[in-house]
Structures are given as structure tokens and as C-alpha cells.
Amino acid sequence: MKYLIIGIIVIAVLILFLRLSGRNSSRETSLELKPYAGPKPLLRQFGDFTPADFEAHPVWVNCHVIDYDEPWYE
């Protein structure tokens, strides 16, 4: 009985590993094939923010960290 439970756990872990590894490879491939089709995002220098900027858009991202590979990044 103990070996049956161990076998089921090993098989479940292998299936989970195979599903997750397949999901990551297909996600990377689909991201590489899709060109950026949206408008250029609103860009601001850190020192140029005004209270109105935060009222209109409460969340801002530092593009120097996450957007090096975007086609609009210069």
C-alpha cells in the first residue's frame, strides 16, 4: 500500500511538471511572435509628476526596469 501511494505521488508530480513546463514554453513562443500593436504609453519623468497625473492614473511603472525590450522604448 505504501508503494502504491508513493507511485501515485511520483506520477502526479511528473504530470504537474510536464504541464507547467509545456505552459511556459508556449507562453514564451506566443510572446515572441506578437508584435506590439498598441499606442505608445504615456511617459513621464519622475520629477515632472503632478497631482493631476496621479488622479488620472493612480498606478505608474518605472519603464527603465520592465520595458527595455518594447519597440517604443528609446
Q: Which domain holds residue 48?
A: 39-74
Annotate 6-68 with DSSP letters as a single string.
Answer: HHHHHHHHHHHHHHHHHHHHHHHHHHHHPPP-SPPPP---GGG--HHHHHH-S----HHHH-T
pLDDT higher than threshold 60 for residue 50: yes
Q: Are residues 52 and 67 in the same domain?
A: yes
Q: What is the mean pLDDT of residues 33-38?
A: 65
Q: Are residues 1 and 17 in the same domain?
A: yes
Q: What is the mean pLDDT of residues 28-50?
A: 71
What's the total number of domains in the chain? Answer: 2
Kindly indicate the confidence band of residue 24, based on its pLDDT and cuts at 50, 70 and 90.
low
For the chain, what's the residue count?
74
Q: Are residues 43 and 74 in the same domain?
A: yes
Per-chain mean pLDDT for the chain: 76
Q: What is the mean pLDDT of residues 4-15?
A: 87
Higher-pLDDT residue of 40 and 48 is: 48
Q: Are residues 1 and 28 in the same domain?
A: yes
Q: Which residues of 42-57 are buried (b: 16+ CB within 10 A; e: fewer)?
A: eeeeeeeeeeeeeeee
Q: Are residues 28 and 44 in the same domain?
A: no
